[in-house]
Amino acid sequence: MSAGPYADAAGLVERSAAAYASAVPDRPGDGGYFGPASVTWRVSGDLSAPVAGLRSLLMQALHPLAMAGVDQHSAWRRDPVGRLAATSAYTATVTYGDRAGADRAAHRVRAIHEHVRGVDAVTGLPYAAGDPPLLLWVHAALVDSALAAIDLFGTPLGEAEADRYVAEMAVAATLLGVPDEMVPATVAALGRYVADTRPYLRCTPAAAESMSYLLDPPGLDEEIAELWQDIRDAAVAALPDWARDMYGYPAPATLNPLTPTRRTEIRQTLGVLDAVFLAEPGVLEARQRISARMRG
């Protein structure tokens, strides 16, 4: 596809890697909100993480008010790679940083949200990015996507571990201003929340346009573009049927059903992508810092 109104995605891996490497602290003041023994660290370090990230964006964009905020206020079209890199940096800071660093990062995001207000052209409803219900959908889509991706393409969690992950991740929502009592703390509660939110979701033109870009970003170098095809297929396959139907995406023929052979191919692609990521400056050192804390 052509880039259309968007800048191309050249530098996607390089800029995301630089953001990640700079966000993993060298000498954290404490263990942070999760810590090396957490399920959150395990999920974040799983090879399935790129699939989870793309799936979460697909899910988040189906909320018309969340998508309107992105469409009307962000630099997404001018610098899509920069926005993804900033998200990578924030996630790594909250996950691996100390509490003071995570608090500072969350404070910056909350300050930005204060200015993200408007009216969605599709529904006619007003929105504010800092509204707890809107933040909760973004959070829930992220957590739900991590569980779906790791179950299909990573090292699956047991039931107790999955519940623990959902409970641990509640702090990520509260850091951004969602009251603790609103945040699902078990897999079952998360599923009920997603089901309850479904009537409010739709694929707006902005969602269709932006997600079409993400599934086939122009400007990637040849090697990354080839790998991205598997990541894209995996993210679409990991969507619930109703979400895929909203976008009008057919289930990829090679993934419906998801055969053991195809799953193995995607896992191999994830390993190759991780090796490419690891070769970027600073990433190996960041991983070593994480490993040292886990050993400690």
Q: What is the pLDDT of residues 253-267, one digit of tens each?
A: 777 778 899 999 999
In a domain, 94, yes or no: yes
Of 72-81, 101-110, 165-174, 235-244, give the lowest mean pLDDT range.
72-81
pTM of the model: 0.95
Residue 292 lies in a domain: no
DSSP assignments along 244-285, one per residue: HHHHTPPPPGGGTTT-HHHHHHHHHHHHHHHHHHHTSTTHHH
Least confident span in 120-134, 164-178, 192-206, 242-256? 242-256
Residue 107 CB coordination number (10 Å): 12
| Domain range for 176 | 12-287
Q: Is 1 contained in some domain? A: no
Residue 7 placed within a domain? no
In a domain, 137, yes or no: yes
Handedness of CA 80, 57, 275, 237 (dihedral sign): negative
In a domain, 219, yes or no: yes
Whether the CB-CB separation of 168 and 40 falls below 8 Å is answered with yes
- 160 falls within a domain: yes
Alpha helices in the chain (DSSP H): 12-23, 39-44, 49-60, 64-73, 80-96, 99-113, 132-153, 159-175, 187-197, 205-215, 222-238, 241-247, 260-278, 283-295
* Structure tokens that stand for 209 in this block: 């346009």
Q: Does the pLDDT of residue 1 top 50, yes or no?
A: no
pLDDT of 30 above 80:
yes
Burial class (CB in 10 A: 0-12, 13-18, 19+), 288: exposed
Q: How far is CA 287 from CA 102, 274, 277, 282, in A?
A: 18, 12, 11, 9
Is 215 inside any structural domain? yes
Percent of the chain residues topping a pLDDT of 90: 88
Domains in the chain, number: 1
CB 277 within 8 A of CB 17: yes
Residue 5 scores a pLDDT above 70? no
Per-residue pLDDT reduced to its tens digit, 111-147: 999 999 999 999 999 999 999 999 999 999 999 999 9
Mean pLDDT of 98-116: 97
Integer Cα distance of 95 and 93 in angstroms: 6
